[in-house]
Amino acid sequence: MADSSIDLSQALGAFMEEARELLDQMEAILLRAEEAACDEEDLNALFRCAHTIKGSGGLFGLDEVVRFTHVVENVLDRLRKGSLQFDSALITLLLECQDHISNLIVAVAEHSEMPVARSDALIVELQGVLGQAPGGPAPGGPVATTPAPAQETAAEPERDEDGSAVMAADHWHLSLRFGEGVLQDGMDPLAFINYLNQYGKIAHIETITDQLPDFDGADPEICYLGFEVSLISSASKAEIEGVFEFVQDNSQILILPPQSRIAEFLNQIEALHGDVSRIGEILVACGSVTAKELEQALAEQRRAETPARIGEILVEQGAVPPTVVEAAVKKQIHAEERRNVESKSVKVPAERLDALIDRVGELVIAGVGTHAQIGRLDKPDLLESADLLLSLVEDIRDMALRLRMVAIGEVFSRFPRVVRDVSKELGKQIELRIHGAEAELDKSMVEKIGDPLMHLVRNSMDHGIESAEVRRARGKPEVGTVELNAYHESGSINIEVKDDGGGLDRERIFKKAVEQGLISPEAILSDQDVYRLILAPGFSTAEKITNLSGRGVGMDVVRSNIEALRGTLDIESVPGQSTTMRLCLPLTLAIIDGFHVGVGSSHFIIPLDMVVECIELPPDIGDSAYFEQRGEPLPFIRLRDVFGEEGPAHPRPRIIVVRFGSRRAGLVVDRIYGKCQTVIKPLGPLFAEVPAVSGSTIIGNGDVGMILDIPALIRHCSDIERSYLRLARPVAA
């Protein structure tokens, strides 16, 4: 039984994943529906999403998911049939429902308590849409000529008001396909079925014999038979399931409760993998068409020159509604498609990939070390093969890292919804434009930039975009625009959140910062520096506090999140026109190309992407903190001073010019070793207080090198500088 529980949890995992995909799809369609009328295909897709979630949820006994989704499905069904029309309020409600289903599934995953109260509240709203009194009996309900089992009413309080859609009103339907080995395992399927009589009355059994081979090919000890059973019973689903407890492995046991609607058994068809080619048989077994109708259809098929599909013939003859066959046929196509997709990609657990990358990291370190030792041997042949080996190892490193790359669109995809909801809430009209959704970055980054981006987007919408009146007065289009752009640039990815709003008000930020004691009133700051003040903890200029932003919480969190990813946040603003927040992030967190330098007896690694050039420090520089290079001032810092290094100095120190975002700075070092592969090892908490170091690494000769966090280093130094400026030379330029 242990095995089966593993199977189940795997299957459940697959269900969650599928459900998430379906919910995303629902969201996308709903958002589209808001802009333009939905076509039939969208409406059908929408219905199928809810329907499949409900169906699969039922298979796993997720009653709350089924109960709630069922009502949503009813609404979608009405939309699909045209008896209900989309309006803005309905879309909002359905989006809320979609969120709620998503929450329910999360609750299942986390084994936390189901938010039942929320379900109830939404169901009441949905029923309002359906025109039903909540919990009341359905008008003209077709069900229950015989008294329906009372406890089922509790599980499904709402009734389908559409009489024709309800089938087989008062019995359970069991679809049983036993595993081949069930007989050899000493179990007797018919004995189980017979046992069902303990729970009620078997109304009808259809034995499915089409898997039965002919005489010669048949192994009489293998079970080829399937059974479709109608059971009149007041037992619970768990009780009926219990009957088949011991045969669940390798068997397909499907139990549909009474009052299942046609939709329900469509699901059943979908669930019956392998049997899809026998649509007709399944339809008959479910009571959807009679055997006679099927026979006629089959006869027709035999008569036809080119064999038409049974489904089409049945529809033509009016024997089954098109939707029924559509689902069955879809399944056939879907099975085919899925097979194709499966052959194109392989799913690998993330931790296995991480383990691989970790090992590749070690391989790179070992490779570099070996290469360095061989280099000292003065054996050109050996060195040549070591070169080749190293370049192969580097290729493997790149490929391994690429395995983890995912398109940033994964993060962007949630924003259309956010923009929609927030603009509604704010009463602004805002349009979202997305560019560069295909740009790739490391999976672990994708997971971590979602929240910071969310803050930035909300901030832009709330503070950036002006109200419609102001926009009109300023001669701008009434509809504001928020843009999300992503693009690669020199080993990093830039993500921009741009709005065409009022821009940042330099004066107001400055004033506020002074009020809050962040800067002195005399401080001389560049525009950039002023804008960066909005990232300070507790800073907010918003005059109106909304529940989105304006509480001064957020932007500093954004900054620290981004810094934790070794990224930077630049702010550009054109007053009255636009604000651009530019996130610059490294592509990966695991391995970088580093530039190896030495100061005293210590080793430091500078991310190679940031290195612009190496020059010699002019000997006559003295104590100055900048020098002029090609007509531009270049500020520099001495790593020796920053890290209190006291080892032997070099008579002619060098300057490494680094660039990040739009800034340049110089780092004074003693020695330059050159480019090296750097596998980043996180620093322990012991080093948390060390400024400007983002990690450590093992360099070729086995020594430990510190990886410099350039943006933090510059900031650290300019903070010191600024306080110095403020205190000592407040008026100096």
Partner 1 sequence: MGLEFQRDGTQSSARLTGELTIYTVGELKTALASELVAVDALEIDLTGVTEMDTAGLQLMLIAKRYPGKTVQFVNHPPAVLRLVDLANLGSALGDPLYLAAVES
Number of H helices, E strands in the chain: 24, 21
Stretch that binds partner 1, among 134-142, 191-199, 294-302, 541-549 (CB under 8 A): 191-199
The length of the chain in residues reads 733
What is the distance between the alpha carbons of residues 612 and 634, in angstroms, rounded to a whole number? 12
- Taking CB under 8 A as the rule, does residue 190 contact partner 1? yes
Q: For partner 1, give the closer residue by CB, 14 or 212.
A: 212
Output 619-627 pairs: Cβ under 8 A, ≥24 positions apart. Answer: 619/652, 625/721, 627/666
What is the distance between the alpha carbons of residues 193 and 230, in angstroms, rounded to a whole number? 11
Q: For partner 1, give the closer residue by CB, 204 or 681.
A: 204
Burial of 330 (0-12, 13-18, 19+ CB in 10 A): middle
Stretch that binds partner 1, among 49-57, 212-220, 471-479, 483-491 (CB under 8 A): 212-220
- Taking CB under 8 A as the rule, does residue 281 contact partner 1? no
Nearest distance, CB of residue 271 and partner 1, angstroms: 22
Among 84, 107, 124, 205, binds partner 1 (CB under 8 A): 205
Output 716-720 pairs: Cβ under 8 A, ≥24 positions apart. Answer: 716/642, 716/691, 716/692, 717/637, 717/642
Among 117, 191, 238, 686, binds partner 1 (CB under 8 A): 191
Tell me if 222 sits within 8 A of 204, measured CB to CB: no
Stretch that binds partner 1, among 68-76, 140-148, 210-218, 546-554 (CB under 8 A): 210-218
Stretch that binds partner 1, among 219-227, 643-651, 667-675, 712-720 (CB under 8 A): 219-227
- Taking CB under 8 A as the rule, does residue 204 contact partner 1? yes
Stretch that binds partner 1, among 76-84, 179-187, 658-666, 707-715 (CB under 8 A): 179-187
- Taking CB under 8 A as the rule, does residue 162 contact partner 1? no
Among 214, 378, 515, 543, binds partner 1 (CB under 8 A): 214
* String of DSSP letters for 183-239: TTTT--HHHHHHHGGGTEEEEEEEEE-TT---TTT--TTS---EEEEEEEE---HHH
Stretch that binds partner 1, among 200-208, 496-504, 586-594, 708-716 (CB under 8 A): 200-208
Stretch that binds partner 1, among 220-228, 280-288, 523-531, 723-731 (CB under 8 A): 220-228
**CA-based nearest residue to 413, from 24, 17, 16:** 24
Nearest distance, CB of residue 204 and partner 1, angstroms: 7
- Taking CB under 8 A as the rule, does residue 226 contact partner 1? no
Q: For partner 1, give the closer residue by CB, 213 or 521.
A: 213
What is the distance between the alpha carbons of residues 558 and 452, in angstroms, rounded to a whole number? 5
Nearest distance, CB of residue 183 and partner 1, angstroms: 5
**CA-based nearest residue to 576, from 475, 508, 478, 483:** 475
Among 109, 225, 406, 434, binds partner 1 (CB under 8 A): 225
For residue 440, the one-letter residue type is: E
CA 696 to mean position of chain CA atoms: 31
Tell me if 319 sits within 8 A of 293, measured CB to CB: yes
Stretch that binds partner 1, among 213-221, 233-241, 474-482, 489-497 (CB under 8 A): 213-221
Q: For partner 1, give the closer residue by CB, 186 or 622.
A: 186
- Taking CB under 8 A as the rule, does residue 129 contact partner 1? no
# of chain residues touching partner 1 (CB under 8 A): 27
Tell me if 474 sits within 8 A of 466, measured CB to CB: yes
Q: For partner 1, give the closer residue by CB, 186 or 318.
A: 186
Nearest distance, CB of residue 186 and partner 1, angstroms: 7
Tell me if 704 sits within 8 A of 698, measured CB to CB: yes
Other CB atoms within a 10 A radius of the CB of residue 236 amount to 15
- Taking CB under 8 A as the rule, does residue 198 contact partner 1? no
- Taking CB under 8 A as the rule, does residue 206 contact partner 1? yes
**CA-based nearest residue to 570, from 586, 559, 561, 560:** 559
- Taking CB under 8 A as the rule, does residue 209 contact partner 1? yes
Nearest distance, CB of residue 237 and partner 1, angstroms: 22
- Taking CB under 8 A as the rule, does residue 82 contact partner 1? no
- Taking CB under 8 A as the rule, does residue 246 contact partner 1? no
Residue carrying the six token digits 């969208």: 42
Nearest distance, CB of residue 246 and partner 1, angstroms: 14
- Taking CB under 8 A as the rule, does residue 199 contact partner 1? no
Nearest distance, CB of residue 4 and partner 1, angstroms: 22
Q: For partner 1, give the closer residue by CB, 208 or 393.
A: 208
- Angle of CA points 260, 266, 271, to nearest 5°: 105
Stretch that binds partner 1, among 47-55, 217-225, 354-362, 468-476 (CB under 8 A): 217-225
Tell me if 52 sits within 8 A of 145, measured CB to CB: no
- Taking CB under 8 A as the rule, does residue 718 contact partner 1? no
In eight-state DSSP terms, residue 587 is S
For residue 117, the one-letter residue type is: A
- Taking CB under 8 A as the rule, does residue 553 contact partner 1? no
Q: For partner 1, give the closer residue by CB, 182 or 272.
A: 182
- Taking CB under 8 A as the rule, does residue 290 contact partner 1? no
Among 146, 151, 164, 184, binds partner 1 (CB under 8 A): 184
Among 93, 101, 223, 368, binds partner 1 (CB under 8 A): 223
CA atoms within 13 A on the CB side of 436: 15
Stretch that binds partner 1, among 221-229, 518-526, 567-575, 642-650 (CB under 8 A): 221-229
Among 11, 14, 218, 672, binds partner 1 (CB under 8 A): 218
How do 591-599 and 602-607 pair as beta strands?
antiparallel
Nearest distance, CB of residue 234 and partner 1, angstroms: 21
Interacting residues of 247 by C-beta distance below 8 A, sequence separation 6+ = 178, 179, 182, 187, 189, 192, 253
Token digits for 135? 């919990």
Nearest distance, CB of residue 233 and partner 1, angstroms: 16
Stretch that binds partner 1, among 88-96, 211-219, 250-258, 555-563 (CB under 8 A): 211-219
Among 99, 125, 188, 312, binds partner 1 (CB under 8 A): 188
**CA-based nearest residue to 676, from 364, 357, 395, 383:** 364
Residue 229: C-alpha distances to residues 206, 233, 235, 253, 320 (Å): 6, 12, 15, 11, 21
Nearest distance, CB of residue 227 and partner 1, angstroms: 7
- Taking CB under 8 A as the rule, does residue 601 contact partner 1? no
CA 631 to mean position of chain CA atoms: 48
Tell me if 700 sits within 8 A of 676, measured CB to CB: yes
- Taking CB under 8 A as the rule, does residue 189 contact partner 1? yes
Sheet arrangement for strand 252-256: 200-208, 226-233, 172-177, 252-256
- Taking CB under 8 A as the rule, does residue 161 contact partner 1? no
- Taking CB under 8 A as the rule, does residue 207 contact partner 1? yes
b/e per residue 80-103 (b: at least 16 CB within 10 A)? beeebeeeeebbebbbbbbbbbbe
Nearest distance, CB of residue 213 and partner 1, angstroms: 8
* String of DSSP letters for 424-481: HHHT--EEEEEE-TT-EEEHHHHHHHHHHHHHHHHHIIIIISPPHHHHHHTT--SSEE
Among 82, 220, 380, 685, binds partner 1 (CB under 8 A): 220
Among 227, 510, 531, 636, binds partner 1 (CB under 8 A): 227
Q: How far apart are the first and last CA of the chain?
A: 78
- Taking CB under 8 A as the rule, does residue 632 contact partner 1? no
Nearest distance, CB of residue 181 and partner 1, angstroms: 11
Q: Which residues form the interface with partner 1 (CB under 8 A)?
A: 183-184, 186, 188-191, 193-194, 202, 204-207, 209, 212-216, 218, 220-221, 223-225, 227
